[in-house]
Chain A
Amino acid sequence: MKQMLTGNTAAAWGARLADVDYIPAFPITPQTEIIETLAQWAAAGEIPARFVTLDSEHSMLTAGGAAAAAGARVFTATSSQGLLYGFELLYTVAGWRVPFVLVNVSRGLASPITLEPDHNDVLAARDSGCLQIHAETCQEVFDSILMAYRIAEDPRVLLPVIVNLDGFSLSFTREPVELPAVAAASIYLGEYAPGHAWIRGERPMAQGVAVLGGAVYSYFRYQMQLAAENALTVHEEAAAAFETMFGRRYGLVDGYRLDDAELVLVMSNSFATKGRAAVDLARSEGVRLGLLRLRLLRPFPREAIRRALAGRRAVAVIDQNLSIGLGGITVGEVAHALYAERDRPPLLSYVGGLGGKEISDQEFRRIVSDLMLAAATGETPPPRLLFTAAEARQMQTLLSIAGKEGAG
């Protein structure tokens, strides 16, 4: 039976049905509803987890990693500034090779301060060793958390997994979500046998030691790279088992009307829903447009992306992030996947939806016309920021109120 759940509540249900042992928590908008929901359940005795509020995200992630190292199944959640405040631990804990699931509710980074979504927060963590699954719907949030435990805990992987959902557009939006029975979720995840857990009294070990000279360090860092690559296979196994039990199938990437598409939009997270609408609109006007949604960001499914995009006439990546001084982040990664391809399409780069800014039909139309021109000429236009004339006028008004005319 489906229930109407917010993305945040769906995330809490993911933790609940994964039967977690320990939840270190710290509030931050727009994530707080997740930990509030879990606190209510823990206080009412509905879940057996130990719920503990900590003093910051830094201590929260430290505690989460330590409990995972002691063999507890750990869930925690944060957002934006909180993720950055705990950043040191993302790298450290991934290096401990402990599995746990961290939900990030995406929110643009300061400054200026905002509460609305873009992906600079979660993508800042892309090199940390934490794997990343980005969800488009509330159902996918829940499903991805269950899958994430299975991937993280696999002995071939043993890395933390970040499941990402967009603040506001997913965190506070109710959608129908199918929740499995407790027993079914339990069968899917299996008995938790934390073979990696080294914090136990009977076998003392010195951990977290420094290694100088580089060779030992290189060995352990490369082990993480190999483990992350293994996660591509493990994700496919977890997805197949998930489909068998629950009927929903998740790929490394997700395609929409791709089969005969000549032009392709590449997007991620909940704004991909706007991309689907743009595809439908273009199709209704006879343009063979499709959408590729990036779902697994780490490990980066280079081969799946290459297969999905090779041979298209033109591809536009819409990055909902901005690497200052570079431009969009994922367009470079997609380009990397396509570089060796003899038949690679022109790759157009757009940055849009920063701070949750709407991407209008008008902006999608512009992208489609750019794609058609690139397909016809083989020329790639320079990267663009999606920003409408109306928004520019509004900005001029604000600047004049602030006495900064001419500054824009």
Chain B
Amino acid sequence: MSTSTFIAERHPSDPLFRADRLPHIWCPGCGIGPAMHAYAQAMVESEIPLARHVCVSGIGCTGRVPGYLNMDSYHTTHGRAIPFATAIAIVKPELEVTVYSGDGDLFAIGGNHFIHAARRNVDLNVICINNFNYGMTGGQVGPTTPMGARATTAPFGNYEQPFNLPYLAAATGAVFVARWTSLHLRQLKQAFLRAMKKRGFTFVEVLAPCPVGFGRPNDIGDAMEEMTLYRERCVVDASARLDSLDIDLRDKERPITLGNFVDIERPVFDPLAMMRPAGERENHAALAGKTQEG
């Protein structure tokens, strides 16, 4: 039996990333990298040219994602990814705009923007890596930290009710709402693809391990252990009641429910057309159609 060493000089996804920016800043076991790769693959498979994709983030560990992608990308101020992306989506409707940011950035300091962009049904994809804490500043309690989970600013456990993000997104008007984990990469990529195909405000929550900030204080030994937890506790149920999707890591009997929960149609935000009287809207729609074909 012969043995040989196989060394890959190149990765099939190399052209999608800025190799000169690597190694990345994320800790070993972090879930952001695999989820970023799923997003990159979805872009390739989306049949939308890479040059028409735009990725926008706020501040935090996930906020670093656009910096590693070889595409038009923007690292905005804390919490402000959605208003930034909203402006791009409105002035350049031919672009496929995705906000790729973390739970702290999108739902604490940026929470107001999320609910209003969803309400208006702006043509955006929002991908939220939820690692249940403020990772970049070192593991503080945030608006998604599960009840009872420990953080550096909640050393004996969080006592504030966290957001149920799919429920929030659906209630505020998102037309596509999904939750997967960094273990469920095929389903995650499919959800990203669906979000890219769909016009309007789409939301994909990605549960991801943060072994250093969240796992360590919560007796989750390492990333593998959190991935095992996902494998054992996650159930896929797209028809689950949205108000039942809270995550409680203390209750070992309680499943973590995943799926594509919402896929509906609503008028997509378009101020140029919507502000005008009904007759002119049709003209605009015809003009817009012509531009797209041309």
Contact = CB atoms under 8 A, between A and B. Distances in A.
SS class, residues of chain B in contact with chain A: loop
Contacts of B78: 81, 85
| Residue among B137, B153, B154, B155 facing the most chain A CB atoms (10 A cut-off) | B153
Nearest to A110: B77
Contacts of B183: none
B39 interface: no
Interface residues of A, number: 21
Contacts of B154: 39, 43, 53
Contact of B79 (A39, A40, A56): A56
Nearest to B157: A43
Interface string B140-153: 11110000000011
Contacts of B134: 27
B199 interface: no
A53 B109 contact: no
Contacts of B155: 39-40, 43-44
Nearest to A58: B109
B137 A56 contact: no
B255 interface: no
Contact of A27 (B77, B137, B156): B137
B179 interface: no
A55 interface: yes
B115 to A, nearest CB: 13
B41 to A, nearest CB: 28
A25 B152 CA distance: 12
A50 to B, nearest CB: 13
Contact of B153 (A53, A55, A110, A401): A53
Given A40-B155, A81-B77, A85-B78, A55 B137 contact: no
Nearest to B108: A55
A391 B138 CA distance: 32
Nearest to A37: B152
A171 to B, nearest CB: 13
Contacts of B137: 27-29, 32
Contact of A32 (B75, B108, B111, B138): B138
A32 B136 CA distance: 11
Contacts of B140: 27, 32, 35-36, 53
Contacts of B59: 81
Contacts of A113: 75
Contacts of B138: 27, 32, 36
A38 to B, nearest CB: 9
Contacts of A26: 108-109
Contact of A36 (B75, B111, B143, B153): B153
B153 A56 contact: no
B109 A85 contact: yes
B108 A56 contact: yes
Nearest to A39: B153
Contacts of A39: 152-155
A52 to B, nearest CB: 9
Contacts of A32: 137-138, 140, 152
Contact of B109 (A25, A36, A51, A55): A55
Contacts of B153: 25, 27, 35-36, 39, 51, 53
A110 B153 CA distance: 26
Contacts of B109: 26, 55-56, 85
Contacts of A56: 79, 108-109
Counting chain B CB atoms within 10 Å of each CB, which of A51, A53, A81, A401 scores highest?
A53
Interface string B73-117: 001011100000000000000000000000000001101000000
Contacts of B108: 26, 55-56
B104 to A, nearest CB: 9
A27 B143 CA distance: 13
Contacts of A44: 155
8 contacts: A26-B109, A27-B140, A28-B137, A32-B137, A36-B153, A53-B153, A53-B154, A56-B109
Interface of A: 25-29, 32, 35-36, 39-40, 43-44, 51, 53, 55-56, 81, 85, 110, 113, 401
Interface of B: 20, 59, 75, 77-79, 108-109, 111, 134, 136-138, 140-143, 152-156
Given A27-B140, A53-B140, 17 more contacts: A25-B153, A27-B153, A32-B140, A36-B138, A36-B152, A36-B153, A39-B153, A39-B154, A43-B154, A43-B156, A53-B141, A53-B154, A55-B108, A56-B109, A81-B59, A113-B75, A401-B20
Pairs A-B, 9 closest by C-beta atoms: A39-B153, A56-B109, A27-B137, A36-B152, A27-B140, A32-B137, A43-B155, A55-B108, A43-B156
